[in-house]
Every structure is written in C-alpha cells, then in structure tokens.
Structure 1
Amino acid sequence: MTYFTCFFLDNEKDIIVSLYKDLDKLFYILSTPNHHSGNLIRNLARTFKLPLSEDANNMLIIKGEVPCYIDGSNEESYIFSLGDTEVARIYPDGSVNVVATMPAIAKTLMSQSKEYSLEKDKIIFKTFINKDLKFRSDLHTHMNGNLPADVLIALGIYHQIRYPLYYVKKLDLKLTDEQWERVNAQREKVARQFVYSDLKGKYLDRKINDRTFINFADLILNNLDNAELNIVKIRGSLSVIKDGQAVFTNLEKVYLYRYVFTKGEESEDKIDIGDVSQIPDEDVKKTLRRMLRDKENPDYCNNTVFQDKLLWIARNYKRYGIKYAEISDTTLVKKYESLEMLRQVHDVMPKIYKETGVMIRFLAAMRRIPLTIIKDAVTPADYLAQNLEVLKATALDPYVAGCDFVGEEINDIITLKPAFKEIVKIAAKDPSFVIRVHAGENDSQKDNIAHSISCVKDSLAPGQKMPYMRLGHGLYTYSPRSAKGKAVLKQLKENGVVLEFQLTSNVRLNNLNSLDKHPIRAYLKQGIKCVQGTDGAALYGTNSIDEELSLQKLLDLSEEDMLLMKRSEEEVIERSEKAFFEKSDRYNALLDGRDMEEVLLEKMKAVKIGKKLAKTGGLDAYTELKEHVSEITWDCTPVVLLGGSFNTEKRATRVTPEGKAQLDALIKHFSPEEICFVIGHKLSGYEKYLVDHNKKGFKIYAVVPAVISKAERDKLIAAGVSIRVSPEAQGMGIYKSFNYEIFERRPSMVVAFDGNSAAANLIQEAKNGKGKAQILVWGRSKTLHQKALSLKGYVNLFDEIVPIGSYLKDWDIFLDARRNMPKE
C-alpha cells in the first residue's frame, strides 16, 4: 500500500484519518496520537463498533477499507462514514471534501472517561447550518485566544519572534547540534547577569532559560528534519489539555505559551526565510505563504505582530461567516500600552475592514482578582482604580465598545461595586457603552448574575437609563422555580440583559459536566435575550460554526430557539455598528487635529473608588500563621479530604451519620505512619469531624488562602493543624495549590464528601496530575455526583452499600510497596 492523503475529524487535528491506496482499493488508518490515555479511540471504536488494533509503536488504531461509489455522472468517489453519517468524500485526484466533524465537546468527554455514552449523532454531525439561522457575530471572546495554532506558528516564523529556551526544554523540542551550540552560548551570557541573584536551583534555571532565546524561524526552517514533530508539540501547547477537561490553572498556562506569539518580540538575529516549500505542515505552509505575499501589499507590508494578529483574526472570522466581533483585552486599561494599541488599531483596521468586511471592536477588560500564575508580577493594591483611570479615556475611542470583568469566578462581584459606580458614569456619557461581566460560569457564586445587575442598577444616577448590559456564560443561578430564581429572571428581562453562551469552553474548562443541565432553553422560553460567543475559539478547538452546531444539536435547540438567538444577535450588531460610526464622529471632533495620545492622556483622571475596594478585608495568612507553616511530609501519603472548605460561601456541608461512618472506617483503616490528611481552611463539615476525632494522631495540613479573617486564623491555631499558604487570595482558588503541592508531584488519595465548583476542579486536577491519585466520591453528594460520572474509570463512588473500605485494598498494595522500598 502507498500513502495517498489524510484528513482530520476535528478542528485541532487530533483525530487523523490517513489514507492508503492499493491498486484501486482505498484503506484508512484512524489514529489519535495526541491522546495518550487511549480513551478517545477506544470510545470511538466502541460507539461505532469498529475493530481496534495496534501499530508498530503500540498505539491504538482503527483500520478499514473506504468503499468506492459511482454517481449518476459515472464519476468515482470514496465515501468514508461513521455509523450512518457520511463524513468525507475522497476523490481520485486526492482532494477530500469533509462534510461532518466531531465537536470539541464530544472529543473532550470521550477523552476523559473510560465509558463514554452519548448518541452517535451527537458525536459526529454534518457541518451544515440553515442560512437564515447562521450567527454572524462573536460577542464573547478574548484577544489572545482567537487564532488557531497553525496561524500563530506561521506568525512566529514570519516575524521571526524570540522563542524562549524554557519552552524549548519544556516541550522537549529537538534542535540541531549547531542550534544547541548557539543557544547554549547565549545562555552563558544571560547567566552572567544573575551571578548575584538571590534565586537558586530550578528557580534560577527558569529565570535564565526564560531570558535565553532562539529565533523561531531558525528553529523551524533550519531544522527541517525535526520540524514536523516540533510543530506538533508546539501546536499542542497552544490549546487546553487533550485527555479530558481542564481547569482554570491549565487555561492560564496555555495563555503563557500563546503570549510568546501573540505578544511576540522579533529576534535581533534574523535569517533569510526564503523557500518555505519544505515545511511539513500544509496549513502552516499555506498561511506563511499568504503572509509573505502580504509583505508585497502596501496596506500590510509594515504591519507589527499585533496588527498581523488583527488581520488574521478578521480573516479567520470571514472564513466562518462572522461580520462583527467584540474582543476582550486587558491592554486597554493599561496606561501607555493602551495608547499604543489604539494607535495601531486605527492604522490597520480600516484596511482590514475593507478586505474582510469584518468589524472588530474591543471590550476593555479588568480582572476581578489579580493574576497569580505569573510569579514575578506585582499587582498594586489599587489596580482597579488605575484601570478605571485609563478606561475613562480609552472608552472615548470608537473601537472600544465597552468594558468587561474577566478572570476566574471565585469571588462575589458585589465586592467590586464601587468600581461599577465609575463605570456607570462612563455609560451616562456614552449611551452605547456596553457593561459586560463574566457571571454564572460556575456554581461557586450563584448570586453573581443577580449581583452583577444590582451593581449597575444601584449605581445609576437619578433618571439615568439602564446601560446596555451583557453577562458572559450565565450557566448558574438559583432554580427558576425558587423565589430567588424567579427574581433573577425578572431582572434579566426587565433590564434587557443579554446572556452570552460559550458551550465548548464551559465543557473543556470543567464548568459543565452534564449537557442536559444547560439552562439556555429555559432562558429562551422566558423571553431572555441569548447570544453565542466562542470564548477564544482556538483555545478550545472550536470555531463559530462548530460552536453553533454544538449549541443546536447537543442541547436539542429547535429552529425557533435558534431564530430567537439570531434576532437578539442582530439587535446587538445593528446597534453596535451604528454606535461605531457615531462615536467616530465624536472622537474626531474631540481630537480636532491633535495627537490621540495627547488628548487621551488629558482624559486619564485619577479615580477614587472608596476604602471598601482598596482594603483586602483580611489578614496576611503567612504573617499570622508562620509559626504553624510546615511542608507536607514526604514520609506519608497525603489523603485530601473534601467536605467543608470547597462549598459556596453561603452553603454549609451537612454531616450525616452515614458519612461519619465512612470517614470513621477510613481513619480506622490507616495509621499515622502511612498517611497524613490535607484539608481546606474552613475547618467545617467533615474536615471539622476529622480534626475533632483525630485520636490516632494523624498529621493534618490545612491549605489556606493568602488572605484570611481573624476568626479563621483563631480557629486554625486552636485546631493545631499544620499550615500551607496558597498564593491565591480567595478561598475558592486554593484548589490550585493542591495540584502544585500534591497531584503534580506525588501519589495521593482524594476523598470527597461535598463541594461545589472548587471541589470539582480539585477532582479534575487529581485526575490530570502526574502523580497517581485514587479518587473516591461520596455517592450521596448531589453536587459532585455528576462530576464523578463524567470521569468513569478514574473515580469511584462510595456509600453504605459500596463502602469506602471496598476501595482501600488497592491502596494497601501501594502502601506495602512503599514500606518495602529501600531507605536512602
């Protein structure tokens, strides 16, 4: 057999169908090389009753023949199908017409479970949308999550960006001997700058490697023997994890990989790009060739990396039939960076609009909590006041449609109410100004939808009209049958609030585990305006067409439902396009021939938003508890107990006699020489029961947020537990520290009795971690039961019928092996 061609069943190129010819016969090999657990291909084979085999590298594959058909014109074509769905037609000249694909949602759920169950027509479906129902906007997306990995890689080559040695090593990229020689010589020079640094060991290595660079064009073009494998690894780093759902920590890490390209700096040592025909990836090569042609176009020949990013975002939108987008970006609330961004936008966007017909505007994004993943970043206490100072000026620009509150939803938006007072003042001067809040994305803050609306309404001046308001995600609030739920529906409808839904990101970020629980049908039935966004499509392996098809087919939306969404979208587009031209006239009159930077700097006035927002509202945990801080011992295996600290603020864990009996059995089974316990900071629920009944003297560690209350401090000290302080200031964010300190470093057990989204995230982190984790979930926990079911084969449910003791035998075997390991 000879290789013929290939195609992909998904947007991320994870499911490859390679085609081989033998005379007039065509055969296929389906493989999933980026999914190492094997779950995806096993579930695919089981669902469609296809035989599994192994290739020479012991990787699972599916093999078969593609039948040949003759149509009414006596033309031959080969038709590849899965079940009753025609997926692709392959023609004798090697061209392939793919007509059905797998949505990223189905791929994710199939990847993380050993027993995936969903109807065949929701795994693979035809990529056709009724023209009258086709969405034409992306109203919820983020600047650095838009572009597909192949475009970013081409962009990196074209602009010859600096690629850090840290990522070369992290991704295990292959360099030539000559490239290693040059990059190591540069590293030696960089290392000299840190001779007197206080950093030691891996922290010093990381700092040096972060500041040592290779020209990305050189890495790819002068290393063609390794280019194919390197491109696959780089592509994988630019989207969220493959084998299952991610959590917010993973998303933040992906953004760091993307920043290398989206905020790229050009290398000082340029190479001659020359002939690119040897690049092994066809999509990267095709995109790079278009970029090289743009170099001859006077409209684009001097584009910066940022301007080319905008150009390719618009081209990508045009490809999928989008004509209007609002992109959220934090740059617009940074004093001097915002001015440079807007200068570049005004220079290139008219040309981009002329070519593509796509109008791009922006939402100035403010973080609801400071970013903690960038360790060197220092966030000033008054960062929101500084953001608002800049927003008062940038909001005048016609390309700025409004503002946004972004970041992981682990705090009550009501704490930021003083900031809304300043935002509402901006809206009073600009009636088209949009106030968008990320709210209801997870179940940790069910008041956030209602509180977002009240933050705006309560800030209105007498007689001021309610500004245009949109809420991103809107998945979780109170039951519509409850008094609170009915009040929320009333507020949404009366105030014309628009809800934005991003189904793929909800699933891939572990915020939605059951599709039948999605509330969009209930909202549409109540007359609530709903629209679609992508949340940064490329991060999640989707696009606007894939997203619309997923909404319609996976949530069983009717044509009437889709039409209601289409009408809501059209209202927003029409209003926003009109606002752009009206704001442009006002903006030009404001400038009156003066330089934009001069005018906007004058408009940046200091903002005072009250002591309530400036204060942290708590004590520094490390300072208050430093005498009790201790590293988790390596002599014992940690057992993470969830049942008190990982609920929403207003929800307490109910400790039942049945649950206590299970915890008693766990305590009785182990000895303090074998295990230690790790809990959260609240010391409530089952955590409190453990502390109060620790007669055997187990070592107990409490992971606490960076900011705690006096009552929490006193309770922790009185309990006599050891302390680990998380860099996260919010209690709902400390699950990240469990991942770093335990799941990524060592074997462990998780026993989960109760919890909301933070507990679900911790469970997902345990499943994704490098260390072996046995995960046990209390079967009576309604909030965690669905999460457990989504991880079949990785999580076990326990209750009175199947007690916890029945799962401890395997762990005993592990502990026995550990006991018999030779001592160092």
Structure 2
Amino acid sequence: MTYLTCFFLDNEKDIIVNLYKDLDRMYYVLTTPNHSTGNLIRNLSKTCNLPLSQDDNGMLIITDEIPCFIDGNNQESYIFKLADTEIASIYPDGTVDRKATIPAIAKTLMSQTKDFKLPAGKTIFKTFIRKDLKFRADLHTHMNGNLTGDILIALGIAHQIRYPLYYVKKLELELTDAQWEKVNAQREKVARQFVSSDLQGKYLDRRINDNTFINFADLILNNLDNAEMNIVKIRNSLAVIKDGQAVFTNLEKVYLYRYVFCKGKESEEQIPFAKVDMIPDEDVKNALKQMLRDRENPDYCHNTIFQDKLLWIARSYKKQGVCYAEISDTTLVKKYESIEMLRQVHAVMPSIYQETGVMIRFLAAMRRIPLTIVKDAVTPANYLEQNLEVLKATALDPYVAGCDFVGEEINDIITLKPAFKEIVKIAKADPSFVIRVHAGENDSQKDNIAHSIACVKESLEPGQQMPKMRLGHGLYTYSLASKKGKETLKELKENNVVLEFQITSNVRLNNLNSLQNHPLKQYLEKGISCVQGTDGAALYGTNSIDEQLSLEKMLGLTDEELKQMHDSERKIIEESQKAYSTKKAAFAELLGDRDMEEVLLEKMQAVTISKAKAKSAPKLDANTELKDQIEEITWDRTPVVLLGGSFNTENRTTKISANAIKQMDDMLEYMSPDEVCFVIGHKLSGYEKYLLDHNDKGFRIYSFVPALITKKEAEKIKEADVKVRVSIESEGMGIYKSINYEIFERRPSVVVAFDGNSAAANLIQEAKNGKGRSVILIWNHSKTLMQKAKSLHGYVYSFDGENPLTNIIDSLKTKFKSK
C-alpha cells in the first residue's frame, strides 16, 4: 500500500485518519497518538461499532477499507463514514472534502471515561448550520486564547521569538547537537548572573532556564529532522490537557505556555527563512508563508506580534462567519501597557476590518482575585483601584466596549461591590458601556448571578438607568423553580441582563459533568436574552461553528430557540456597531491635535474605593498565625485526603449521616497510623470534625488552609490536633490547587469523598489527572460527587453500606500487591 494523505476529525489534530491506496482500493488507519490512556479510541470504536487492532508499536488503531463510488458524471470518490454519518469524500488525487467532525466537547467526554454513554448523534456532527440561524458574534472570549497552536507556532517563527530553555526541557523537545552547544553556552553566561542569588536547587535551575533562550525560528527551521514531533509537542502544550477534563490550575499553566508566543520578544540574532517550504506541518507552513507575504503589504509590513495576532484572529473569525467579537484583556487596565496596546489597535484595525469585515472590540478585564500561578508576582493591595484609574481613561476609546471581571469563581462577587460604584459612573457617561461579570460558572457561589446584578443596581445614582449588563457562563444559580431562583429570573428579565454560554469550556474545565441539567433551555423559555461565546476557542479545541453545533445537538435546541439566541446576538451587534461610530467621533474630538498618550494619562485620575463594611471578619496571615503548626507532610505514610466539610460552597454545611459514619468508623479501624496520614481542609467541620473527635489511634492529620483566615478559624485550628499546610490561595475554595501540587502531582494517595461542591469535584479531577497514582473513593449518596464519578467511570469507586469502603480498599490492596 502507498501512503496518500491524512485528515483530522477534530480541530486539535488529535484524531488522525491516515489514507493509503493499493491500486484502485483505499484504506484508512485511524489513530489518537496524543491520548495516552486509549479511552478516546476505545470509546470511538464502541460508539461506531468498529473493531480495534494494534499497529507494530502496540498502539490502538481502527482500520478498514473505504468504498469507492461513481456519481452521475462518472466521477470516482471514496466515501468515508462513521456510524452511518458521511465524514468525508476523498478523491483519487488525495483531495479531502470533510463534511463532519467530532467536536471538542464529545472528544473530552470520550477521553474522560472508560464507559462513554452518548450516542453517535451526539458524538459526530455534520458541519451544517442554517444560514438564517448562524451566530455571527463571539461575545465571550479572551485575548490570548483565540489562536490555534498552529498559528501561534507560525507567529513564533515569523517573528523569531525567544523560546525559553525551560520549555525546551519541560516539553522534551529535540535539538540538534549544534543547537544544544549554543544554548548551553548561553546558559553558562546566564548562570553567572545568579551567583549571588538566594535561590537553590530546582528553583535556581528554573530561573536560569527561564532566562536562557533559543531563537524559535532556529529551533524549527534548522532542526527539520525533529520538526514534526517538536511541533506536535508544542501544539499540545498550547491547549488544555487531552485525556479528560482540566481544572482552572491547568488553564493558568496553559496560558503561561501561550504567553511565550502571544507576548513574545524577538531574538537578537535572526536567521534566514530559506527552509520554510520544508516545514512538515502543512497548516504551520501555509500560515507562515502568508505571514511572510504580509510583510510585502504596506498595511501589515511593520506589524508587531500583537498586531499580527489581531490580524489572524480576524481572519479566523472571517473563516467561521463571525463579523463581531468582544475580547476580554487585562492589558487595558494597566497604565502604560494599555496606551501602547490601543495605539497599535488604532494603527492596524482599519486595515484588518477592510480585509476581513470583522470588527474587534475589547472588554477591559479586572481580576476578581489576584493571580497566583505566576511565581514572584506581587499584586498590590490596591490593585483594583489602580485598574479603575486606568479604566476611566481607556473606556473613552471606541475600541473599548466595556469591562469584565475575570478569574476563577471562588469568591462572592459582592466583596467587590465598592468597585462597581466607580464602574457605573463610567456607564452613566457612556450608555453603550457594557458591564460583564463572570458569574455562575461553577456551583461554589450560587448567589453570584443575583449578587452581580445587585452590585450594579445598588451602585446606581438616583435616576440613573440600568447599564448594559452581561453575565458570562450563567450555569449555576439556585433552582429556577425555587423562591431565590424566581427572584433571579425576575432580576434578569427586568434589567435586560444577557447571559453568555460556552458549553465546551464548561465541560473541559470540569464545571459541567452532566448535560442533562443545563439551564439554557429554561432561560430561553422564560424569555431571557442568551448568546454564545467561545471563552477563548483555541484553548478548548473549538470554534464558533462547533460551539453552535454543540449547543444544538448536545442540548437539543430547536430552531425557534436558536432563533431567539440569534436575534439577541443581532441586537447586540447592531447596538455595538452604532456605539463604535459614536465613540469614534467623540474620541477624535477629545484628542484634537494632541497625542493619545497625553490625553489618556490626563484622564487617569486616582480612584479610592470605599472599603465595604465587611459582614465577615477581617482576614489574618495564616503563615504567621499558625507558624507553630506548619509542617511538611511526612513521606513515610500514604496521604488519605478526606472530603466532607471544607470543600462546599462557603455557606453550605455538610450534614453527616449515620450510614456514612459507619463507613468512617470501619475505615479508622481498618487503617494503621503507621501506614497512612489524613489530609483535610480548613473548616474542620462535618466528617473532618468526626475524624478529629474520633482519632483514638493517633493518626497524623494535616489541615490545608488558605493564605488568609479569620481569627475564629485560626483559633479553631490552633485548638485542634492538626499539622498545617498553608496554600498559596487566599480563598478556601482554591486550596485544592495546593493539595494537587503537594500530593497528587508527587506521590500515591487515597481520596475518600463524602460531600462537596465544585471545589471537591476539582480536587477529584486533579487526583485523576495527577502524576502520582491516586485511589478515588466516593460516597454513593452524594448526588453532586456521584455526577463527577459517572463522568470518570473506570477511575473512581463508589461505596455505601452494600459495597463497604474497607472492602474496596482491601480488594485494591490485594490487586496492587499481585501486580
């Protein structure tokens, strides 16, 4: 057989169909090399009723013949089908006309479990949407999550960015001997600058490797023997994890990989582009060649990386049929960076719009909590005041449509209410100004949708109209049939609040484990304005078309419901285009013959936001308050992480049951304090308290606590017989990240989960994803956690009176010993 070509069934190039010809017969070999568990290809095989086999390397594959057909014009084509759905027409010359795809949401659900339940109709989508129902906007997305890995790689080559040695080693990229010799010589020079550093060991190595660079164009173009595999590894690093759902921690790490390209700096030593045609990846090669042609275009010849990024975002939207987008970006609340960004936007956007017909505007994004993933980054206590000072000026720009509160939803938005008083002042002067809040993304803060509206309403001046308001995600609130739910619906409707839905990111970020209870259809039935976003499509392997298909197929939206969303979106597009024209004229008049920087700096007036009269007690530094109890987790015992008290919403209390207590008692009797230690949260309530009160055998117990705690919490922990680990996160809902870092990523462990909400589900997902082997056991009567368990079939064990916890542990012990 002769290799002909290949094509992909998904946007991330994870499901590869290789095509081979033998005379006039054609065969395919389907592989999923980026998915190490084998769940994806096993579940795809089962869904499509196709036999699995193995290649010469022991990898699972699906292979079969593709039948040839002759049409009415006597033209031959090979029709490739899966589960009776026509996927592609393949012509004798190797041309592939793909007609259906497997969307990222289905791929993730298949990767997550050993027993995928969805039918083929919700797994393989024909890529056709009625023209009159096609969504034309992306109203919820993020600046550095839009471009695919292939485009970012091409940008990195075109601009010859500096690529850190740390990522070369982290991704295990292959370099030539000459490249290693050059980069190691540079590393020696960099290391000399750290001779007096207080850093040691791996921390010192990391800092040196972060500041040692290779020209990315050199890495690819002068290393063509390894280019194909290196491109695959780099591409995979630019999207959330493949084999299952991710959590917010993973998303933050992916952004760090993306920043290398999105915020890249060009190398001092440049190389020629003579070998571009030899790049093995067609998509990277073709994008790079277009980027080089753009340099001959006077409109783009001086483009910065940022301007090229905008150009390719617009080209991507044009390809998807999107004509309007609002991109959330934190740069717009940074004093000098915001001005430089807007200067570059004004310089290139008219040409981009002329070429693509896509209007791009921005939402100035403020973080609801300080970012902790960037090591050594210090966030000032008054960061919100600084953000608002800048926003007062940047909001005047016609390309700025409004503002946004972003970040993991682990705190009540009401704590930021003082900031809204300043924001509604901006909205009073500019009626088109959009106030967007990420709210209802997970179930840890079910009041956040209602509280977001209240923050705006209660900040209005007498007689001031309600500004334009949108809520991103809107998945979770109290039951819409409950009193609180009905009140929330009333507020949404009366205040014309728009809800934005991003189904793929919800699934891939572990915020949605079951599609059955998705609220979109309920909101549409009640007449609430709803629109679609992508949340940074490339991060999640999706795009605007796949998102709409996923909403339609996965949630069963009717044409009437799609039209409701289409009409809400069209209204926003029309209003936004008018707002841009109005603001453009006003901004030109404001500037006159003065420089933009001079005017905007003048408009940045200091802001002092009143400290809210906190209903909760002031917070103390946990490292200081609990210093006498802080101790590393011992390495001579297996950690047993107990969920049932601290991993709920802040206001929800775990109620212990007699049946579950029987399981606890048996577990404590079965386990030995010489073999295991326990890990709990900071509340010391529910099953955690029961453990502390019945620790007759003297188990060592470690309590993970947030970086900031109340005096009452500190006193409670001091009185308890616990060792302490202090998280880098200041909010209790975020301590799962530190448990993952210290336990799941480093060592074997056991998770015993009796109760919890999204923080518990995140911790369970981290345990499944972690590098250390973790046994996960979930109480069968926890409705929320059993939803998580069902999505992880084959990776968790449920227990109850009929299937006792100790029996499962004993059988697993025997199983592992036999191995």
**Shorter-chain TM-score category?**
over 0.9
Residues 327 and 77 of structure 1, relative CA distance in 2, 3 Å threshold: same
Distance 1:782 1:609 in 2: 41
Residue in 2 that maps onto 1:148: 148
Unaligned runs of at least 5 residues, structure 2: none
Residue in 2 that maps onto 1:211: 211
Q: Does 1:460 align with 2:460?
A: yes
Task: Measure how far apart 1:489 and its partner are.
Answer: 0.2
Distance 1:16 1:806 in 2: 42
- Correspondences of 1:86-235 after superposition (within 5 Å): 86-235=86-235
CA deviation string 1:739-771 (max 9, x = no partner): 000000000000000000000000000000000
Note if contact 2:761-2:785 (Cα within 8 Å) is conserved in structure 1: yes
Q: Does 1:80 align with 2:57?
A: no
Residue in 2 that maps onto 1:722: 723
2:6 partner SS:
strand
Task: Measure how far apart 1:785 and its partner are.
Answer: 1.0
Residue in 2 that maps onto 1:688: 689
Distance 2:480 2:595 in 1: 52
Distance 1:51 1:817 in 2: 31
Note if contact 2:221-2:275 (Cα within 8 Å) is conserved in structure 1: no
- Correspondences of 1:389-788 after superposition (within 5 Å): 389-612=389-612, 617-788=618-789
CA deviation string 1:656-683 (max 9, x = no partner): 1001001111111111001000000000
CA deviation string 1:560-613 (max 9, x = no partner): 000000000001000000000000010011001100000000000110001339
> Once superposed, which parts of structure 1, at least 4 consecutive aligned residues long, lie more than 2 Å away?
611-617, 810-818
Note if contact 2:617-2:710 (Cα within 8 Å) is conserved in structure 1: no
2:163 partner SS:
strand
Residue in 2 that maps onto 1:822: none
1:626 partner SS:
coil
1:736 partner SS:
helix
Distance 2:226 2:765 in 1: 34
1:37 partner SS:
coil
1:469 partner SS:
strand
1:63 partner SS:
strand
2:92 partner SS:
coil
Aligned residue identity for 2:484: K
Pairwise CA RMSD of aligned residues? 1.2
Aligned residue identity for 1:657: A
Note if contact 1:415-1:613 (Cα within 8 Å) is conserved in structure 2: no
Aligned residue identity for 1:775: I
Note if contact 1:416-1:613 (Cα within 8 Å) is conserved in structure 2: no
Q: Compute the TM-score of the two structures, normalised by the length of structure 2.
A: 0.99
Note if contact 1:139-1:326 (Cα within 8 Å) is conserved in structure 2: yes
Note if contact 1:470-1:497 (Cα within 8 Å) is conserved in structure 2: yes
Distance 1:783 1:81 in 2: 38
1:273 partner SS:
coil
2:105 partner SS:
helix
Note if contact 1:674-1:815 (Cα within 8 Å) is conserved in structure 2: no
Task: Measure how far apart 1:84 and its partner are.
Answer: 1.2
1:88 partner SS:
strand
Note if contact 2:418-2:611 (Cα within 8 Å) is conserved in structure 1: no
Distance 2:547 2:65 in 1: 31
Residues 694 and 432 of structure 1, relative CA distance in 2, 3 Å threshold: same
Note if contact 1:616-1:707 (Cα within 8 Å) is conserved in structure 2: no
Task: Measure how far apart 1:344 and its partner are.
Answer: 0.3
Distance 2:502 2:478 in 1: 20
Note if contact 1:48-1:82 (Cα within 8 Å) is conserved in structure 2: yes
Paired positions, count: 818
- Correspondences of 1:265-284 after superposition (within 5 Å): 265-284=265-284
Q: Compute the TM-score of the two structures, normalised by the length of structure 1.
A: 0.98
Task: Measure how far apart 1:76 and its partner are.
Answer: 0.5
Task: Measure how far apart 1:48 and its partner are.
Answer: 1.2
Distance 1:697 1:809 in 2: 21
Aligned residue identity for 1:762: L
Distance 2:333 2:498 in 1: 24
CA deviation string 1:193-216 (max 9, x = no partner): 100000000000000000000000
Aligned residue identity for 1:284: V
Task: Measure how far apart 1:782 and its partner are.
Answer: 1.0
When structure 1 is superposed on structure 2, of 444-453 and 52-61 the one drifting more is: 52-61
Distance 2:721 2:113 in 1: 39
Distance 1:616 1:504 in 2: 38
Distance 1:816 1:678 in 2: 24
Aligned residue identity for 2:522: A
Distance 1:458 1:203 in 2: 47
Distance 2:165 2:449 in 1: 43
Note if contact 1:439-1:452 (Cα within 8 Å) is conserved in structure 2: yes
Distance 2:537 2:103 in 1: 12
Task: Measure how far apart 1:275 and its partner are.
Answer: 3.5
Distance 1:26 1:415 in 2: 63
Distance 2:567 2:82 in 1: 35
Task: Measure how far apart 1:811 and its partner are.
Answer: 4.3
Task: Measure how far apart 1:813 and its partner are.
Answer: 4.0
Residue in 1 that maps onto 2:68: 68
Note if contact 1:29-1:61 (Cα within 8 Å) is conserved in structure 2: yes
Task: Measure how far apart 1:688 and its partner are.
Answer: 0.3
Task: Measure how far apart 1:72 and its partner are.
Answer: 1.1
Distance 1:817 1:4 in 2: 46
Note if contact 2:112-2:243 (Cα within 8 Å) is conserved in structure 1: yes
Note if contact 1:767-1:773 (Cα within 8 Å) is conserved in structure 2: yes
Task: Measure how far apart 1:708 and its partner are.
Answer: 0.4
CA deviation string 1:64-108 (max 9, x = no partner): 000101111111100000011000100011100000000101100
Unaligned runs of at least 5 residues, structure 1: 819-824
Distance 2:678 2:362 in 1: 47
Residue in 2 that maps onto 1:295: 295
Task: Measure how far apart 1:368 and its partner are.
Answer: 0.1
Distance 1:703 1:498 in 2: 38
Distance 2:605 2:353 in 1: 33
- Correspondences of 1:301-340 after superposition (within 5 Å): 301-340=301-340
Aligned residue identity for 1:368: R
Task: Measure how far apart 1:651 and its partner are.
Answer: 0.8
